[in-house]
């Protein structure tokens, strides 16, 4: 076996013992699982991407893409290559559905198995492109949060790109710049498509994004919209709806009459009830305000109007400002 010099230059190191060599195997590699979910015939591009990432991290990608072909039996590295080849085959078998694994069992090299899988499952057809395009256009935010909606469409975009990649130029040093122009065009088209999927609640931020020249990237636009969503959620929390206040008043009103006597004057009861409910509701965070007391906030005004509708008839005529 051919040995290579180590970093010191004074000694040689066997490739199977050199961590930077593609022929090196760590003791734990025998139990390696390339991907958590076996390939069952669908989603080949996602599965392929995950497998190639893991093989690349192990410095073994060259054994399936043809960069390290099978050497002659007289080659000093033949035994090491044979060992690595068998290891990669075992890795692939563990991440294939049993029926698919059985169909490639008798290939002698990992490269042959990989090529066979690509020929059977990796070729793109018009039907696949049509299906992906249809799914992309059918997506609508609906009741999904912004993150869920974006993840759905991003997954389909990635699968579409793997099935139908953009063309590349063949000019020297890419001087024409067509690749960057195509990427920018696709980015702008997808930004507009993503904005079209959003609910009407985002129409303001959507208009602000579309007025920018040039149009921002999808990632930057997503960040702006996410900030708007968080701001809306905070505003909804600080300014409760009438229904939310009615619910809390009804619950706390019952608490009050379970713990307080009805022998006191109507005015006294109403003041006690208002104080009891207001303190409890305020402590829940529903009527929070930073700039002024809770009884001066707009949310408190909603609260007072709701309390008027739920107090007993006997208390009507009592001054609420006293």
Tens of pLDDT, residue by residue over 113-134, are 999 999 998 877 788 888 889 9
Would the pLDDT of 102 be above 90?
yes
Instruction: Give the model's pLDDT for residue 250.
Output: 57
Confidence of residue 252 (pLDDT cuts 50, 70, 90): low
Average pLDDT, the chain: 77
Would the pLDDT of 88 be above 90?
yes
Domain boundaries, the chain: 4-122, 126-238, 242-315
Instruction: Give the model's pLDDT for residue 8.
Output: 46
More confident residue, 295 or 187: 187
Tens of pLDDT, residue by residue over 26-35, are 888 888 999 9
Confidence of residue 314 (pLDDT cuts 50, 70, 90): very low
Confidence of residue 248 (pLDDT cuts 50, 70, 90): low
Instruction: Give the model's pLDDT for residue 55.
Output: 95
More confident residue, 32 or 274: 32
Percentage of the chain surpassing pLDDT 90?
Answer: 39
Confidence of residue 169 (pLDDT cuts 50, 70, 90): confident
Confidence of residue 236 (pLDDT cuts 50, 70, 90): low
Tens of pLDDT, residue by residue over 184-231, are 899 999 999 999 999 998 999 999 999 999 999 999 999 999 988 887
Across 40-54, 173-187, 224-238, 254-268, least confident range: 254-268
For the chain, the three-class secondary structure string (H helix, E strand, C coil) is CCCEECCCCCCEECHHHCCCCCCCCCHHHHHCCCCCCCECCCCHHHHHHHHHHHHHHCCCHHHCCCCCCCCCCCCCCHHHHHHHHHHHHHHHHHCECHHHHHHCCCCCCHHHHHHHHHHHHHCCCHHHHHHHHHHHHHCCCCCCCHHHHHHHHHHHHHHHHHHCCCCCCCCHHHCCCHHHHHHHHHHHHHHHHHHHHCCHHHHHHHHHHHCCCCCCCHHHHHHHHHHHHHHHHHHHHHCCCHHHHHHHHHHHHHHHHHHCCCCCCHHHHHHHHHHHHHHHHHHCCCCCCCCCCHHHCHHHHHHHHHHHHHCCHHHCCCCCCC
Would the pLDDT of 310 be above 90?
no
Q: Is the pTM of this model over 0.85?
A: no
Across 12-16, 51-55, 212-216, least confident range: 12-16
Would the pLDDT of 36 be above 80?
yes
Would the pLDDT of 232 be above 90?
no
Would the pLDDT of 317 be above 80?
no
More confident residue, 300 or 192: 192
More confident residue, 127 or 56: 56
């Amino acid at each position: 076996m051919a040995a290579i010099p180590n970093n010191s230059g004074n000694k040689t190191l066997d490739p199977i013992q050199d961590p930077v060599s593609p022929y090196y195997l760590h003791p734990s590699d025998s139990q390696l699982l390339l991907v958590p979910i076996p390939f069952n015939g669908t989603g080949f591009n996602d599965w392929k991407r995950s497998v190639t990432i893991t093989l690349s991290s192990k410095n073994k990608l060259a054994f399936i893409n043809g960069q390290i072909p099978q050497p002659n039996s007289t080659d000093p590295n033949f035994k090491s290559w044979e060992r690595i080849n068998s290891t990669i085959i075992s890795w692939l078998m563990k991440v294939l559905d049993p029926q698919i694994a059985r169909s490639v069992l008798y290939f002698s090299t990992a490269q042959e198995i990989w090529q066979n899988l690509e020929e059977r499952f990796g070729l793109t057809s018009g039907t696949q492109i049509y299906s992906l395009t249809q799914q992309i256009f059918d997506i609508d935010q609906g009741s999904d949060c912004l993150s869920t909606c974006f993840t759905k469409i991003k997954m389909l975009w990635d699968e579409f790109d793997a099935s139908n990649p953009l063309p590349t130029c063949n000019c020297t040093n890419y001087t024409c710049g067509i690749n960057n122009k195509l990427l920018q065009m696709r980015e702008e088209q997808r930004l507009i498509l993503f904005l079209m999927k959003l609910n009407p609640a985002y129409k303001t931020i959507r208009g602000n994004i579309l007025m920018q020249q040039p149009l921002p990237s999808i990632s930057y636009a997503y960040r702006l919209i996410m900030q708007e969503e968080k701001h809306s959620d905070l505003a909804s929390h600080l300014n409760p709806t009438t229904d939310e206040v009615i619910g809390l008043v009804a619950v706390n009103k019952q608490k009050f009459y379970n713990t307080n006597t009805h022998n006191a004057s109507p005015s006294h009861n109403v003041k006690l009830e208002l104080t009891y409910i207001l303190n409890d509701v305020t402590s829940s965070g529903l009527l929070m305000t930073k700039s002024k007391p809770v009884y001066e906030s707009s949310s408190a005004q909603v609260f007072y109007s709701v309390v008027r509708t739920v107090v007993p008839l006997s208390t009507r005529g009592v001054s609420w400002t006293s």
